[in-house]
A and B are shown apart, each in its own frame.
Chain A
């Protein structure tokens, strides 16, 4: 008799275990990503992927999001739009992911937006262009500051210094082109005149020709929108040609790599950047400081110097996690609705307040104007 009772109890326990096991297995959150981990934009994709993997492992080891484990599926696009399209197709049709985080570049993101809209999968992009969220697409969100915000921040600073004539030099990538368009559109609002509009190829090795042309104009400042090695070459070429005009770079070069590559030529360069690179220089009252330092320390303990780009992935991941938590399910439509309701989320890029008309939710104050001094960033007030 006693034996039977015990057997029943064991059986019941086994059954219970079994059922909880299936419940959690059926309730995993599938996050897919397509990032430019290698190729010309690897400095974006690489820290982004590392950040996602680090925090997803961390969340899973702590039991998941209220018990829901995260399954992470990743593809490397090498920043090629065609690959991005193929991989996103695979994420949607074959892997059947619940949320997509990516791509690293604006070109990659814009290439897949129609696809994602049709498939009704929420996507949080890690790319800069304002075209991703304007006009608002129902399923598309993003976390990095837009190029329009960067242009506005730069122009604000130029105006405050009393300059009016701006020379623009940009690359041929999606980020560059979009940034150029924003600069051209915004300049009149700040009373600025664009007196030169030069372009280069992102794999070009010398931009002295373009800068020589700029030198022959009456420009008072130079603004360079670009990322990768090209802005470093532009910066060096400007100093090489003895051009003394103040140089503004975009948030695309907000990483230590830029200072390392451009070396002394980078001294005095100003750029708008998210709080991450000046985290330890922010006042203690800054609400972001705690989040920034926590991310910075966690990342640096594992991989080395942090960059703002990994921070965008951090923001995207935790906006997703919060949305899944408040939706209480992994239903794509419910997650989408909750992402759109994100309010007061303190991320690395700033404090996010999304709405049906704003799928980014950051204000201009989330940017800090910084200047490179002695190989480090200094806040400009």
Chain B
């Protein structure tokens, strides 16, 4: 039984790491502009798909991955420049609707460019399972967990220690005051979208060797990432990470111990219960303004 539990935890943390990265992406844009960017899942898909097609076109693997991250960042920044910035005086709800439109557009574009097939990426290193007792994990599981941990640390550092990171946070606190002290609000937003896209792309690249991807695989990941962000407390970056990991583990334990048929239902019941007791989420500030 302990072996089994351990295996469930490994599965849960792997899947949860991806939810965490997507949730973190939600949080960054939310922090900078109070907007929930529903195209976040599409960033994951674009990162994975561009990596796959660059690799298939003969680009060496590491370069293909790096280029895919840059492409996705460019897409994220273009999205901000072309769709979000022109509507900067619009209300938050309007902007959220714009991001939903953008997600449909990006999915459609991916369908036209890459077709509707399912694709995979080769694992980063040799695909020999590692045994720990009776439980096994793939090297790629470790890359997913490690990559997520590094990304989270980097994001934390960026927002806590750098001037740009603090400037982005300042925009969310009070946009007018931020611009009065000389912060270029538009540029900060652009950077926030860039970072969100970057995180999405990293998540997509890390997980595709295990899970495959197709033009519409961003929908489910976006939804789960959103749940992670809500569960952790919208706006709290560490909350999103904790929420993602927790969601993955609950899903896995629910499937393993109770019933695999009700996996998602169990996860959602837990989320509802948490939000019922703590409406601001696990790590959200208690006095958070509800929108």
List residues of A whose CB falls within 8 A of some B CB. 37-40, 42-43, 46, 172, 198-201, 203-206, 208-210, 212-213, 216, 228-229, 232-233, 236, 239-242, 257, 260-261, 263-264
Contacts and interface: CB of A to CB of B under 8 A. Distances in A.
A242 B256 contact: no
Contacts of B15: 205-206
B92 interface: no
Contacts of B207: 205
Contacts of B263: 199-201, 204
Interface stretch (B67-75, B110-118, B180-188): B110-118
Given A198-B260, A206-B15, A210-B255, A46 B116 contact: yes
Interface in B232-265: 252, 255-256, 259-261, 263-264
A266 to B, nearest CB: 12
A39 B261 CA distance: 23
B217 interface: yes
15 contacts: A199-B261, A205-B207, A205-B211, A206-B252, A209-B256, A210-B256, A212-B7, A212-B135, A212-B256, A213-B260, A216-B4, A232-B118, A232-B120, A240-B138, A264-B127
A242 B255 contact: no
B138 A209 contact: no
Nearest to B248: A206
A37 B116 CA distance: 9
A228 B129 contact: no
A263 B140 CA distance: 16
A298 to B, nearest CB: 21
B214 interface: yes
A39 B116 CA distance: 7
A261 B11 contact: no
A200 B262 CA distance: 9
B288 interface: no
Nearest to B263: A201
A241 B11 CA distance: 11
A199 B210 CA distance: 19
Interface in B1-41: 4, 7-8, 10-12, 14-15, 18
Contact of A241 (B129, B211, B252): B129
A206 B211 contact: yes
B116 A208 contact: no
Given A206-B15, A240-B136, A242-B136, A261 B211 contact: no
Contacts of A239: 129
A176 to B, nearest CB: 11
A210 B10 CA distance: 13
Contacts of B111: 38
Q: Can you list the 6 inter-chain pairs with the closest CB atoms, starting with the nearest? A: A205-B211, A199-B261, A42-B116, A212-B7, A208-B11, A209-B256
B91 interface: no
A257 B211 contact: no
Given A208-B10, A209-B12, A233-B210, 6 more contacts: A43-B118, A198-B260, A200-B255, A212-B256, A228-B118, A242-B131
Given A203-B217, A209-B252, A232 B212 contact: yes
Contact of B212 (A199, A209, A233): A233
A309 to B, nearest CB: 14
B216 interface: yes
Interface in B121-161: 127, 129, 131, 135-138
A195 B11 CA distance: 23
A208 B12 CA distance: 9
Nearest to B7: A212
- Most chain B Cβ neighbours within 10 Å, of A38, A205, A241: A205
A203 B216 CA distance: 10
Nearest to A263: B120
Contacts of B138: 240
Contacts of B11: 206, 208-209, 212
